[in-house]
Amino acid sequence: MWWTSKKEINEMIDRAIKLARAEELSHKLVFMDVRMPGMDGLAAAQYLAHVEPPPAVIFCTAYDDYAVEAFSSQAIGYLLKPIRQVDLEHAISRTKRINKAQLTELQESPIFHTDGRSHIATKNRRGIDLVSIADIRLFQADHKYVTAFHSGGEALLDEALKDLETEFDGRFVRVHRNALVSIPHIEGLERNVDGQFFVRLQGLDIRPQVSRRHVSPLRKLLEQM
């Protein structure tokens, strides 16, 4: 089902707010457009990011060229009009997995103090999703695309694995020519009857294979953890 008029959008947002209250979310939600009278949505989101406790902000807009700025202001969702109810509910459900305060706590952890991005923005049929690097368990390459496996599912990236390895050095470690794994999420190293090694990751059923030349460095890393 699609909504196109302003009245229908407002009615949908009202229903979404009631849904959030009904599910007793532990933090507030704010829905806004990018362009609004007076203070625009981006400035408003930046202001709200400093409120204690800060609310979760979801943009509902017809403009698709402000996503980077929106996520820089700590928005957790960016939905393009016309908006479907299922997409809005998906964005709301993400606020239950991690809120702004939790995200800040993760970002302040010493292991995440780097110059790399704290999030990756991915486009999909719902609009644009913001995936926290702290939430990603595995980057796995397949031809020219890379899949990021995180606690909420998967995200397809049009980025080179080598570039991700360079940017997130110290947070991810290469275990195979086609795989980088999140160091904080490593649970152990397993060996099968054929002598092949696989790394076990927290919250992920996939066991990435470890190539022979990466087994020794990975063992040393695990001994230091």
DSSP 176: E
The amino acid occupying position 119 is H
Task: Indicate whether 91 belongs to any domain.
Answer: yes
Number of domains making up the chain: 2
Burial 11-34 (b: 16+ CB within 10 A, else e): ebbeebeebbeeeebeebbbbbbb
- Does residue 89 sit in the same domain as residue 169? no
- Does residue 68 sit in the same domain as residue 11? yes
Task: Indicate whether 128 belongs to any domain.
Answer: no
CA–CA gap between residue 199 and residue 210 (Å, rounded): 7
- Does residue 98 sit in the same domain as residue 44? yes
Task: Indicate whether 19 belongs to any domain.
Answer: yes
pLDDT in 10s for each residue of the chain, 225 residues: 444 455 555 555 554 554 444 344 445 678 888 877 666 778 888 777 777 777 788 888 887 777 777 777 777 788 887 777 777 777 777 665 444 454 454 445 443 444 567 788 776 666 677 788 889 999 999 877 899 999 888 888 888 899 999 989 889 999 999 999 999 999 999 999 999 999 999 999 999 999 999 999 899 888 887
β-partners of residue 145 are 142
Q: 14: domain range? A: 6-108
CATH of the domain at 188: 2.40.50.1020
Task: Indicate whether 120 belongs to any domain.
Answer: no
Task: Indicate whether 121 belongs to any domain.
Answer: no
